[in-house]
């Protein structure tokens, strides 16, 4: 098991205790409780295409910007 990982998420430091043996962006998104099809993500200043999330590692010190799209409402 990998140890705790501390990242900056939307400007705030967050520590995750268990993102798996080799943590990837998919595990981070799941730990945040977001549906992957409603999230846009930037890692260290670069957009991370959803197709590469399973292969994009998460490392302590990474800086993430996450946008979660919310739908709904009536007009």
Interval 17-21 mean pLDDT? 85
Q: What is the mean pLDDT of the chain?
A: 90
Specify the pLDDT at position 70.
Answer: 74
pLDDT at 64: 97
Domain boundaries, the chain: 5-63
Give per-residue pLDDT as tens, 21-43.
889 999 999 999 988 888 999 99
What pLDDT score was predicted for residue 11? 96
Give the sign of the dihedral formed by CA 17, CA 23, CA 29, CA 30.
negative
User: What's the confidence (pLDDT) of residue 63?
Assistant: 98
CATH of 5-63, one of 3.30.450.20, 3.40.50.720, 3.50.50.60, 3.10.20.30: 3.10.20.30
pTM: 0.84
């Amino acid at each position: 098991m990998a140890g705790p990982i501390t990242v900056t998420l939307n400007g705030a430091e967050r520590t995750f205790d268990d993102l798996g043996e080799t943590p990837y962006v998919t595990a981070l998104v799941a730990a945040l409780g977001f549906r992957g099809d409603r999230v846009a993500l930037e890692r260290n200043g670069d957009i991370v295409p959803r197709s590469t999330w399973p292969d994009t590692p998460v490392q302590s010190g990474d800086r993430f910007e996450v946008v979660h799209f919310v739908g709904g409402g009536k007009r």
